[in-house]
Amino acid sequence: YLVSQTLAPRKSQVKVGAPSGEDQDELHEGATKRSQNVNPVVEFKEDLTLSTDRLDPHLVAYVWGKRTSMMEETVTLVGRALAPQHEFALQRKFTKWGVFDVMKGNRVADLRVKYAVSTTPGPVQDPMLTEVQQTELKITWTPPQNDHGAPILGYKVSIILEQSVNEGPRWLTLCERTKTLNPVYVIANLTGNRVYTVDVRAVNKVGVGDACEFQVATAPVNPDPPTKPWIEEARDGCVNVAWLPPGNDGGCPVQSYKVKMRKILGASKWNPFGPGESKAEWVDMGNVEAFQGEQQEPLSMYNAWLGPLENVACEYKFQIVSVTAAGTSQGSELSNPIYT
């Protein structure tokens, strides 16, 4: 509750409803009598603020009077006035409310007051992801349709970084309140190819407003390498190398696979003292499209015929690289060697 100052009344200086014509004579004749019945006025020039946990239907104002004499001082309840808190059209301007005797119900005074009810803002509107990178996201929004009586001071931005099945979402507050009213925020230090849940709320002097949760995703990353290739078949001086797609494409479908061959001329399975890794030569054997056939769908296994191989002693190993629109993977594990 709020309590105003205790002020002494004064005579009203405002004449209301002055008569004209023949009534002017009656006005002069009874001026003295009516001047004795002028109602006193008490003017409170105070700004009072009250914080509550809920918005009650009415603002209740109790008017008390204090009478002081030589012997004692008594406080009397003059009456009570009710002002609706949900009628926003009546707020932020001076309005007159009747003060009624609590016991008898008759009107004993008028209360002229300007009041305003403020609560937390509504949800922000139109959240949008405007710039996407692998580790950064830029989000924008528009202010709430209703600030509920108090200007917006800034925005609170939160994000779910980890979500536990048992404990539920764990929110991390990125910014308690933005320094400006510009509805834009850049979220940094993120992980590529990942979906995040973001919450943006408007803030006014009352507190943090309603939630506006939405999902955003970072840009795709380089894919994982395919599985270790193997020799499916060898004949007529050629080999058929096979492999499986990567377990993670990084957020973009694999478009093709680069096939590389590492060979060491003169190396033999039966000669451990022959040429070593320092003599290895890498050869780019071309690309294999990931989408094949009439349906243009990715396959569960890929292979490529490579050759012709050397007619002299040589050791061969093969490596596969995944290619997507986001980039290329690291090379796969080398295949087991094959010799000619």
Q: What's phi and psi for 279, nearest 5 deg?
A: -100, 5
**pLDDT band for position 294 (cuts 50, 70, 90):** low
CB of 330 within 8 A of CB of 225? yes
Is pLDDT larger for residue 163 or for residue 39? 39
Lowest mean pLDDT among 36-40, 88-92, 118-122, 242-246: 36-40
Q: Is the pLDDT of residue 20 over 90?
A: no
Percent of the chain with pLDDT strictly greater than 90: 56
Give the pair of three-digit tokens for residue 168.
């539920």
Q: Is the pLDDT of residue 24 over 50?
A: no
Residue 319 burial (C-beta neighbours within 10 Å; 0-12, 13-18, 19+) = buried
Convert the pLDDT of each residue in 199-242 to its tens digit: 999 999 999 999 999 999 999 999 999 999 999 999 999 999 99
Task: Identify the residue whose tokens are 């009352």.
Answer: 206
Mean pLDDT across 6-17: 63
The whole-angstrom separation of Cα 273 and Cα 293 is: 46
Report in angstroms the alpha-carbon separations of 103 from 1, 108, 242. Answer: 22, 12, 96
Instruction: Classify 31 as helix, strand or coil.
Output: helix
Q: Is the pLDDT of residue 198 over 50?
A: yes
Lowest mean pLDDT among 6-15, 53-62, 234-243, 302-311: 6-15
Mean pLDDT of the chain: 87
The whole-angstrom separation of Cα 180 and Cα 246 is: 45
Convert the pLDDT of each residue in 150-179 to its tens digit: 999 999 999 998 766 677 778 999 999 999
Q: Is the pLDDT of residue 27 over 60?
A: no
Query: What amino acid occupies position 285?
Result: M
Instruction: Classify 216 as helix, strand or coil.
Output: strand
The whole-angstrom separation of Cα 254 and Cα 300 is: 12
End-to-end CA, the chain:
96
**pLDDT band for position 37 (cuts 50, 70, 90):** low
Q: Is the pLDDT of residue 93 over 50?
A: yes
CB of 222 within 8 A of CB of 228? no
